Structures are given as structure tokens and as C-alpha cells.
Amino acid sequence: MPAEPFRGCYTVLVTPFTEDGTAVDLKALERLVEYQITEGIRGLIPLGSTGEFLSISPEERTAVVETVVKAARGRVPVLIGTGAEDTREVVRTSREAESLGADGVMIIPPFYSVPTLAELVHHYDTVAKAIGIPIMVYNNPATANVDMTPEMLAEISRIPNCRYVKESTLEVTRVRDIVALCGDRMEVFAGVLGYESAWLGAIGWVAVCSNLAPRLSTELFHAAAFEKDMDKALRLYRQLAPLLPWVGGPRYVSGTKAGFKLMGMSMGNPRPPRLPLPAADVPRLAAVLQSMGLLSQVARLAAE
């Protein structure tokens, strides 16, 4: 399949760990990739925020990239999260991702130095000149400590290789403004508001919820973005909505991993300082998954 253009619902994957947390569970990662592709996801992004990229060693990072690319077997695009505070490290990991067969990279800006626009342009331009695969710029001011506004993204979009942005604020009108200011230089993936962003011009959704519900997430986004079927999209959104609080906010990693455990697909616990979902919350999450048919769905897939 062609590596570009990137379109549709992409899962920002959790990173499975062994039960004691000392190693990445590569077999579980292979199973996760297969689950995602079998259930219709359109792309995979390991080593993003949901993948606990700051808790991963360089050796583990390489193993994750190799495993996901190999398991995907070219069936869907694979973009690698390569954000770091040091531009040189982003160049290194982005080059590694390209050499290991990734189709693109997703790069959050440096998150401690609070770079200016000029520094952001220099950062992304330096990486872009070092690799031949496209860059998805990742705007998430809640975690990156810098907010790349539509006006700033318009400048960054002039870097030829910065062809996509993951827009992760809760201001859906930004999608409209990015589309207006960037034109065809940069296309928008929603980072949070997948349903809402589809109506304003987003061509993709980098979703956390699709870890647990890849088929429903994909069908929802495609109904809104490509089929333009409002009734269908709203019906699917209402099916998905009860899950969203469990995979958003401060518990997006712990909630997702707890969900996988309930579904019989253990991905281990988060690494500290993140802790597992509190035991008191697990029955409520189980009820949500049960109501969505996800518990029986995974049992069915395991039996096939």
C-alpha cells in the first residue's frame, strides 16, 4: 500500500510491559498490532505520549520500532514518536525510525525549554533536512509547555517535510483555522476531538480510545470525515462516548491498560511515576466495556 497520503483513524499505541515492569513485552506488542489491523485501524503510532515514550530506554525504543514495523508488514502506515528535548536526539531517533522502515515520524516540540517560533522552525527544519519521510508535528500544549497556534503552524508548514499536524487542544475551531492558513501544505489529524474535528476539515484522528476500540473509532471517524453521514457518525459517537473519560485526562495510560487487562489482552501496568488504575474504578470501567460489547468481542477474536 502507498505510504502516503496518511488518512483516517490511527492508534497511538500503548507500550506493553512485562508484569514486573522491567521489560517491554514484545510478544504482547505483536498481538496488539495484529488486533489493531484486524479490526480495521488505518495507521499505527508507537512511542507517543500513550506509549510512555519518556519511560523507555534507547534499546527498548529500537526494539519497539522494529517490532511494530515488522508486525504491520506494510499493511498500514507506521509513524514513530520521536520527540525529545534535544534536537540532535530527535534527528537520531528519526533517522533510526526511517532506517527501520517507518513511514513517518510524529514529533512533539521540546517540552522544557519553551522554544520560540524561530527555535521551533529551526528544530523542525533541522529534523526535516535529516530524513526523507514525512513529519507529523504534534501540538499538545497541555504536556509540551508550548502552544503552536494556527499562525505558528502556518510558518512551520513551509518546511517541505512537515506535512501533517496532530492538533490536541480542546479548541476545535483550530482545525478550521489551520486548514485556512496552511492550505495543502499541512493536513490536520485530530488529537482529541476526533468526531468534532472531522466536520471542520481534519483528515485523520490520532486516537487513544482506538487502542481498545479500533473498529468503532475507525467507523466513527470515517462516517464523519469521508462519508459525511451525520446520523451515522452521531450514533457511533454516542456508542464510543462512555469510554472517552477512561482514556482521557490524567488516566489515559492507566485506563487504557486496565481496559486491556479486562479484555484479556494484558499490556502490563504503566511505569512509575504512573500507577495502575485504582482498584475502585475497575468495576465501572468493566461495565463500560461490557456495555460496548468489547469484552465479548475480544473473546470471540481469541477463539477464531
- Selected catalytic residue, list 10, 166, 237, 257: 166
Identify whether 166 is a catalytic site residue: yes
Of 29, 23, 24, nearest to 11 (Cα)?
A: 29
Strand order in the sheet with 43-45: 43-45, 8-12, 204-207, 187-190, 162-167, 135-139, 104-107, 79-81
- Selected catalytic residue, list 10, 35, 138, 252: 138
> Could you tell me which residues are beta bridge partners of residue 188?
165
Is the bond into 245 cis (omega within 30 degrees of 0)? no
Cα separation, 275 vs 235, whole angstroms: 34
Of 144, 200, 134, nearest to 169 (Cα)?
A: 144
Cα separation, 53 vs 121, whole angstroms: 23
Cα separation, 78 vs 249, whole angstroms: 25
C-alpha cell at 273: 511515576
Residues 6+ apart with CB under 8 A from 149: 174
Identify whether 138 is a catalytic site residue: yes
Catalytic residues: 138, 166
